[in-house]
Amino acid sequence: MNPVYPLPARKYVIILFLLSSFPSLHCQDSVNLPEQENEWISDFYEENEQCFRCHETGITPSEGFPEDTIDYLRRHGMLIDREAFYKSNHRSFACDQCHFDDETDIRILAREGEFTCLNCHGFDPANDQYPFAQIAEEYGSSVHATNRSIGFSCWKCHNPHSYRSVNDTNLDLTEAVVYHNAICLDCHSKRIRDSSNSRNGGNKEFQNHDWLPNQTIHLSMVKCIECHTPVDNGIALTHLVLPGEQSEMRCVECHSQEPRLLAILNNFHAKGQRSKKGFYNSALSGELSILGTAGTDNLNTISIVIFLLTLFGIVIHIYFRIRVKRMK
């Protein structure tokens, strides 16, 4: 039998922080995303409403539509947030465009097992900016794909009914981090909650981050994928999620003068600001500062020159003191 380890108070604080944040975070709309055009109305709005009459998250029990049925739909992911859908990337779609089988001529609700993002996006020249073939390859090597017991698919992160791709340059850093981490936390916060309730020495999910100092700041200022994917600037490698033991644990990858992770961390977000204001201006006025990165080569060179000049002055002073002493 595994021993029961009591959790130190600090861990409780962090777990409480995470758990209290996540329910609001995993709804991506909690982030102050840039406004879309307000007047936009789907061409299929009326048609879709026929589906939403039964498949909308806000549905309430009525005659012929009992609580049990709603519970069933909810448990099987068959209730869709209408508002989130009409803000998502797929908002211009009619429900039937995906949930209709041309061969059998019937509507099909659960299509998660049949489709991946590549089915539609993989070979579309309009999506050239996203290297879907490479993304598929990297995803195939990721812990999400290789660990088959978790039943992962594209849809776990990119919910087709709510996912909205965001251009990070329009967000400030914390919003971008919250937005991206909410995708991970949608599943992993549940695991943290489950494991922290465990009485068998569990909470492994959280203990894996125990080595990390200043956890609250790290967790709110750094995207999960910065450490949990290989260090690279390409978007594809953000899909190669690594097992915990292979994830980045070297502080110097961020906290150094040539931080590779810093470059990625701010890859999308900081480009805009940096080009407008210069790195130090944006760093001073924003949230981009990372300890250990301030020692620029110029600062080091200047300090060494001043130090050598001081030593040179002392040597000259000693020389004249000795010379005067000998002349006496």
Partner 1 sequence: MYLYPRWIRLWHLLNAVICLLMIITGIVMQYTEQVMYPSRVVRVHITGGILLCISYVLFVIGNLVSSNRKHYRIRFKGLMGRIGKQVHYYTIGLFKGDNNPFTVTGEEKFNPLQKIFYVIIMYLFVPLVIITGWDMMFPGFFPTIIIGSMGLILSDVIHIISGFIISLFMVIHIYLCTLGPTPGRLFMSIFSGYYTGEE
* Interaction site with partner 1 (CB under 8 A): 211, 213-214, 217, 221, 250-252, 255-257, 280, 283-295, 299-300, 303, 306-307, 310-311, 314, 317, 320-321, 323-324
Distances 179 to 4, 23, 36, 107 between C-alpha atoms, Å: 35, 13, 16, 33
CB of 151 to partner 1, least distance (A): 36
CB of 286 to partner 1, least distance (A): 6
CB of 211 to partner 1, least distance (A): 7
Q: Compare residues 23 and 313 and give the one whose CB is closer to partner 1.
A: 313
Q: Compare residues 1 and 211 and give the one whose CB is closer to partner 1.
A: 211
CB of 258 to partner 1, least distance (A): 9
CB of 305 to partner 1, least distance (A): 12
Q: Compare residues 150 and 294 and give the one whose CB is closer to partner 1.
A: 294
C-alpha R_g of the chain: 27
Q: Compare residues 91 and 255 and give the one whose CB is closer to partner 1.
A: 255
Q: Compare residues 242 and 251 and give the one whose CB is closer to partner 1.
A: 251
H helices present in the chain, as ranges: 9-25, 45-55, 67-75, 82-85, 95-98, 117-121, 132-141, 143-146, 154-157, 173-197, 204-207, 215-221, 224-228, 260-265, 269-277, 279-285, 297-327
Which H or E run includes 107? strand 106-107
Task: At 71, list the tokens.
Answer: 């519970």
